Amino acid sequence: MKSYGIFGYPIEHSLSPAMQNAAFRALGLNACYHPFRVAPDDLEDALDGARAMGFSGLNLTIPLKERALAYLTPDSAALEMGAINTVVPARMSGFNTDGLGAKLALERACVTLDGTKVLLIGSGGAARAIAFMLAEEEAEIAIANRGKARALDLASRSGADGFGLDELERLVSWADLIINATSVGMSPGDARLIDPRWLRKGKAVFDIVYNRKTELLMDAERAGCPAIDGVSMLVGQGAASFRIWTGLEAPVDIMERAVREALGGRR
C-alpha cells in the first residue's frame, strides 16, 4: 500500500484525508492518506522520515508551507509564491497548487479570466498564489488590502494595481469578479468587507473561506451574482496534488462530495 499524508500544526481540522482517500477508493488505488501533527521545528526531520519510509506524497498546511522552502527543492511557482503545499518525498521536491486550485474552481463555475477585471482582497499566501495565477491568465487585477503597503508590494510582483480597503466601493463597481482571499467570514459575526448594496447582478463572487457559507456569498446570491465557495478551491488544489503524485486525473466530483459531507458532519 502506498502512503500519503498531510503535515500541519494543528492538523485536526484538515479535510484533506477525507478528500484524498475518497479519490483513492474511487480509482481503486491501493493507497491511504493520513494526517500528521508536525511542529515547525520538527519539519525537517519529518520530511526526511517520510522520504526514508517511502511516502509517495505529502501536503503541507499552516504553519509549514513557508518553512518548507528551506528543506525542499521548489518548482518555479512555489519559489515565486514563497510557499510549498505539495511534496514528492522521493525527490524532496516541492510545489504550490493553490493557484491551480483557484483556477479549477473558477473554470468549473464557467468564469473566464482572460481580460476580466478582478478585484482580489488580501495579500497573504493564498492571495499571492491567486494573483500570480490571474496574471498568467491575463486578467486585469486590482489588489486591495487592509495594509496598503502589502497590497502595493504584491501588485508590483504580479502586474496588478494596489489599493487600501478605503477604495473598495469603487473597486467593487469596477470589477467583473470579486475574490475574497482573506479569513474574513470564517466566523459568524465577522464584519463585512463589502457592503451588500455595492453588489450588482452579473458580477461573480468567489470566497476562499470553506468552513462555512459566508455572509459575502449569501449577499452575492441575494444580488443575483454567481457565488463560488472555498470548497471548490480546496478540491482544486487537492486534485492538482493528486495529479502530481499519481499522474492520474483526479475524480473531482467525488472529492468535492467527500469534503462537503465531512463539513456537514462538523456543523
Q: Where in the sequence numbering do the catalytic residues fall?
A: 65
Q: Which residues in 136-153 are b (16+ Cβ under 10 Å) and which e?
A: ebebbbbbbbeebebbbe
Inter-CA distances, 249 with 12, 105, 195, Å:
27, 16, 40
CA distance 59 to 228: 24
Closest CA to 67 of 51, 46, 52, 88: 46
Q: How far is CA 111 from CA 103, 104, 137, 209, 225, in A?
A: 9, 10, 12, 18, 12
Which stretch of DSSP H or E encloses residue 119? strand 117-121
